[in-house]
Protein backbone atom coordinates (compact mmCIF):
# COMPACT_ATOMS: atom_id res chain seq x y z
CA UNK A 1 0.00 0.00 0.00
CA UNK A 2 1.44 3.36 -1.00
CA UNK A 3 0.81 5.99 1.68
CA UNK A 4 1.19 9.73 1.23
CA UNK A 5 2.24 11.26 4.53
CA UNK A 6 1.47 14.97 4.85
CA UNK A 7 3.68 16.54 7.48
CA UNK A 8 6.23 13.79 7.00
CA UNK A 9 8.99 15.71 8.74
CA UNK A 10 7.08 15.88 12.03
CA UNK A 11 8.17 13.84 15.00
CA UNK A 12 5.40 11.23 14.89
CA UNK A 13 5.70 10.96 11.12
CA UNK A 14 9.45 10.37 11.33
CA UNK A 15 8.79 7.46 13.68
CA UNK A 16 6.27 6.25 11.10
CA UNK A 17 8.98 6.50 8.41
CA UNK A 18 11.34 4.45 10.56
CA UNK A 19 8.72 1.77 11.13
CA UNK A 20 7.91 1.47 7.42
CA UNK A 21 11.43 0.03 7.02
CA UNK A 22 10.15 -3.15 8.70
CA UNK A 23 6.72 -3.09 7.06
CA UNK A 24 6.98 -4.16 3.45
CA UNK A 25 3.25 -3.66 3.00
CA UNK A 26 3.59 0.10 3.64
CA UNK A 27 5.41 2.16 1.03
CA UNK A 28 5.69 5.78 2.12
CA UNK A 29 5.62 8.86 -0.08
CA UNK A 30 6.70 11.74 2.12
CA UNK A 31 5.40 15.27 1.62
CA UNK A 32 7.95 17.71 2.99
CA UNK A 33 7.90 21.49 3.05
CA UNK A 34 11.42 22.12 1.90
CA UNK A 35 14.15 20.13 0.23
CA UNK A 36 16.43 20.56 3.24
CA UNK A 37 14.27 17.93 4.93
CA UNK A 38 14.98 15.40 2.18
CA UNK A 39 18.10 13.59 3.45
CA UNK A 40 16.31 11.80 6.31
CA UNK A 41 14.00 10.19 3.77
CA UNK A 42 16.70 9.54 1.16
CA UNK A 43 18.64 7.57 3.77
CA UNK A 44 15.59 5.38 4.25
CA UNK A 45 14.89 5.06 0.54
CA UNK A 46 11.57 6.89 0.92
CA UNK A 47 10.26 8.93 -1.99
CA UNK A 48 9.74 12.63 -1.21
CA UNK A 49 7.77 15.42 -2.75
CA UNK A 50 8.16 19.06 -1.75
CA UNK A 51 4.77 20.71 -1.21
CA UNK A 52 3.64 23.39 1.20
CA UNK A 53 0.26 22.92 2.80
CA UNK A 54 -0.34 26.67 2.92
CA UNK A 55 1.02 27.73 -0.45
CA UNK A 56 0.32 24.78 -2.72
CA UNK A 57 -3.13 24.19 -4.14
CA UNK A 58 -5.62 21.37 -3.77
CA UNK A 59 -4.73 20.38 -7.32
CA UNK A 60 -1.03 20.13 -6.46
CA UNK A 61 -1.82 17.74 -3.65
CA UNK A 62 -4.32 15.76 -5.72
CA UNK A 63 -1.60 15.33 -8.36
CA UNK A 64 0.79 14.03 -5.69
CA UNK A 65 -1.88 11.50 -4.66
CA UNK A 66 -2.36 10.04 -8.13
CA UNK A 67 -0.34 6.92 -7.37
CA UNK A 68 -1.19 6.41 -3.69
CA UNK A 69 -3.70 4.24 -1.83
CA UNK A 70 -3.98 6.15 1.43
CA UNK A 71 -3.22 9.50 3.06
CA UNK A 72 -1.93 10.11 6.56
CA UNK A 73 -2.41 13.66 7.79
CA UNK A 74 0.21 14.34 10.42
CA UNK A 75 0.92 18.01 9.72
CA UNK A 76 0.61 20.67 12.37
CA UNK A 77 1.62 24.27 12.81
CA UNK A 78 3.09 23.49 16.21
CA UNK A 79 4.19 26.65 17.93
CA UNK A 80 4.55 28.75 14.79
CA UNK A 81 1.62 31.05 15.55
CA UNK A 82 -2.14 31.15 15.74
CA UNK A 83 -2.46 32.19 12.11
CA UNK A 84 -0.49 29.13 11.03
CA UNK A 85 -2.61 26.92 13.29
CA UNK A 86 -5.72 28.00 11.39
CA UNK A 87 -4.01 27.73 8.01
CA UNK A 88 -2.48 24.29 8.62
CA UNK A 89 -4.52 22.41 11.23
CA UNK A 90 -7.91 23.60 10.00
CA UNK A 91 -7.82 24.91 6.45
CA UNK A 92 -4.77 22.84 5.45
CA UNK A 93 -6.35 19.64 6.71
CA UNK A 94 -9.53 20.32 4.76
CA UNK A 95 -7.46 21.11 1.64
CA UNK A 96 -5.82 17.70 1.92
CA UNK A 97 -9.18 15.97 2.43
CA UNK A 98 -10.52 17.72 -0.66
CA UNK A 99 -7.43 16.72 -2.64
CA UNK A 100 -7.89 13.09 -1.56
CA UNK A 101 -11.48 13.19 -2.77
CA UNK A 102 -10.37 14.71 -6.08
CA UNK A 103 -7.69 12.05 -6.49
CA UNK A 104 -10.18 9.36 -5.46
CA UNK A 105 -7.97 8.19 -2.60
CA UNK A 106 -10.52 7.01 -0.08
CA UNK A 107 -8.39 5.88 2.85
CA UNK A 108 -7.50 8.76 5.18
CA UNK A 109 -5.90 8.57 8.61
CA UNK A 110 -6.00 11.77 10.64
CA UNK A 111 -3.65 12.40 13.54
CA UNK A 112 -5.79 14.59 15.77
CA UNK A 113 -5.34 15.89 19.30
CA UNK A 114 -6.36 14.05 22.48
CA UNK A 115 -9.67 15.78 22.99
CA UNK A 116 -11.68 17.89 20.60
CA UNK A 117 -15.36 18.72 20.82
CA UNK A 118 -17.43 21.41 22.43
CA UNK A 119 -16.62 20.68 26.05
CA UNK A 120 -12.93 20.87 25.34
CA UNK A 121 -13.25 24.12 23.40
CA UNK A 122 -15.10 25.67 26.32
CA UNK A 123 -12.08 25.11 28.57
CA UNK A 124 -9.07 27.29 29.03
CA UNK A 125 -10.43 30.44 27.44
CA UNK A 126 -8.67 32.78 29.78
CA UNK A 127 -5.49 30.94 30.47
CA UNK A 128 -4.60 29.43 27.18
CA UNK A 129 -6.00 31.04 24.04
CA UNK A 130 -3.50 29.24 21.75
CA UNK A 131 -4.65 25.87 23.06
CA UNK A 132 -8.26 26.89 22.54
CA UNK A 133 -7.59 27.97 18.96
CA UNK A 134 -5.70 24.73 18.34
CA UNK A 135 -8.61 22.73 19.76
CA UNK A 136 -11.12 24.63 17.61
CA UNK A 137 -8.99 24.07 14.51
CA UNK A 138 -8.56 20.35 15.14
CA UNK A 139 -12.21 19.96 16.13
CA UNK A 140 -13.64 21.40 12.94
CA UNK A 141 -11.10 19.52 10.82
CA UNK A 142 -12.24 16.26 12.46
CA UNK A 143 -15.89 17.23 12.09
CA UNK A 144 -15.34 17.98 8.41
CA UNK A 145 -13.62 14.65 7.85
CA UNK A 146 -16.39 12.71 9.60
CA UNK A 147 -19.39 14.51 8.23
CA UNK A 148 -18.49 16.36 5.08
CA UNK A 149 -16.37 13.88 3.14
CA UNK A 150 -17.00 10.48 1.66
CA UNK A 151 -13.56 9.32 2.76
CA UNK A 152 -12.77 6.09 4.60
CA UNK A 153 -11.46 7.95 7.62
CA UNK A 154 -9.82 6.92 10.85
CA UNK A 155 -9.09 9.52 13.53
CA UNK A 156 -6.33 8.86 16.04
CA UNK A 157 -6.38 10.95 19.25
CA UNK A 158 -3.00 10.52 20.96
CA UNK A 159 -2.24 11.58 24.53
CA UNK A 160 0.70 13.82 25.34
CA UNK A 161 3.50 12.71 23.07
CA UNK A 162 6.88 11.69 24.44
CA UNK A 163 10.16 10.71 22.79
CA UNK A 164 10.56 7.58 24.88
CA UNK A 165 11.04 4.33 23.05
CA UNK A 166 7.71 2.68 22.30
CA UNK A 167 6.58 -0.19 24.51
CA UNK A 168 4.56 -1.79 21.73
CA UNK A 169 1.53 -1.65 24.00
CA UNK A 170 -1.26 0.91 24.15
CA UNK A 171 -4.71 1.66 25.49
CA UNK A 172 -7.43 2.74 23.02
CA UNK A 173 -11.10 3.71 23.36
CA UNK A 174 -12.70 7.12 23.97
CA UNK A 175 -13.10 9.09 27.20
CA UNK A 176 -9.91 7.82 28.82
CA UNK A 177 -8.16 9.84 31.48
CA UNK A 178 -5.46 11.96 29.90
CA UNK A 179 -1.98 10.46 29.83
CA UNK A 180 1.20 10.13 27.83
CA UNK A 181 2.20 7.94 24.94
CA UNK A 182 5.50 7.55 23.06
CA UNK A 183 5.45 8.88 19.50
CA UNK A 184 6.78 5.53 18.33
CA UNK A 185 3.70 3.73 19.66
CA UNK A 186 1.43 6.27 17.97
CA UNK A 187 3.25 5.70 14.68
CA UNK A 188 2.80 1.97 15.14
CA UNK A 189 -0.92 2.52 15.81
CA UNK A 190 -1.19 4.47 12.55
CA UNK A 191 0.41 1.60 10.65
CA UNK A 192 -1.91 -0.88 12.35
CA UNK A 193 -4.88 1.33 11.41
CA UNK A 194 -3.83 1.33 7.77
CA UNK A 195 -3.49 -2.44 7.92
CA UNK A 196 -6.92 -2.97 9.50
CA UNK A 197 -9.95 -1.78 7.57
CA UNK A 198 -12.03 -2.40 10.69
CA UNK A 199 -10.75 1.03 11.81
CA UNK A 200 -12.57 2.77 8.97
CA UNK A 201 -15.10 5.30 10.31
CA UNK A 202 -13.67 4.94 13.81
CA UNK A 203 -11.93 7.38 16.12
CA UNK A 204 -10.04 6.43 19.23
CA UNK A 205 -7.56 7.70 21.78
CA UNK A 206 -4.07 6.20 21.91
CA UNK A 207 -2.33 6.14 25.29
CA UNK A 208 0.35 4.03 26.91
CA UNK A 209 -1.28 0.79 28.00
CA UNK A 210 -1.14 -2.95 28.37
CA UNK A 211 -2.46 -4.24 25.07
CA UNK A 212 -0.24 -5.13 22.11
CA UNK A 213 -0.80 -2.42 19.48
CA UNK A 214 -2.17 -4.72 16.77
CA UNK A 215 -4.68 -6.29 19.16
CA UNK A 216 -5.75 -2.91 20.50
CA UNK A 217 -6.27 -1.48 17.02
CA UNK A 218 -8.22 -4.56 15.90
CA UNK A 219 -10.52 -4.09 18.92
CA UNK A 220 -11.61 -0.50 18.22
- 101: three-class secondary structure by DSSP: helix
**With binding defined as CB under 8 A, does residue 51 bind a second copy?**
no
**With binding defined as CB under 8 A, does residue 117 bind a second copy?**
no
**With binding defined as CB under 8 A, does residue 122 bind a second copy?**
yes
Compare residues 130 and 173 and give the one whose CB is closer to a second copy.
Answer: 130
Handedness of CA 112, 117, 120, 125 (dihedral sign): positive
Contact string 57-96 vs a second copy (x = CB under 8 A): xx-----------------------xx--xx--xx--x--
CA distance 170 to 206: 6
The kind and range of the H/E element at 20 are helix 11-20
**With binding defined as CB under 8 A, does residue 53 bind a second copy?**
no
**With binding defined as CB under 8 A, does residue 173 bind a second copy?**
no
Listed residue (183, 187, 182, 178) closest to 205, CA to CA: 178
Compare residues 54 and 200 and give the one whose CB is closer to a second copy.
Answer: 54
Selected range binding a second copy among 34-42, 102-110, 128-136, 182-190, rule: CB under 8 A: 128-136
CA distance 183 to 175: 20
Listed residue (171, 158, 170, 156) closest to 202, CA to CA: 156
Q: Which of residues 132-151 bind a second copy (CB under 8 A)?
A: 132-133, 136-137, 140, 143-144, 147-148
Amino acid sequence: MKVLVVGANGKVAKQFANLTQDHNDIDEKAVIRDSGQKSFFDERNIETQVLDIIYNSIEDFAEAMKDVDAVVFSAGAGGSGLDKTVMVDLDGAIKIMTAAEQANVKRFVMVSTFRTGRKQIAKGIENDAPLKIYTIAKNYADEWLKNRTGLDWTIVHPGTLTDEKGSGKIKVGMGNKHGEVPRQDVAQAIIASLENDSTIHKEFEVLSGDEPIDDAIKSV
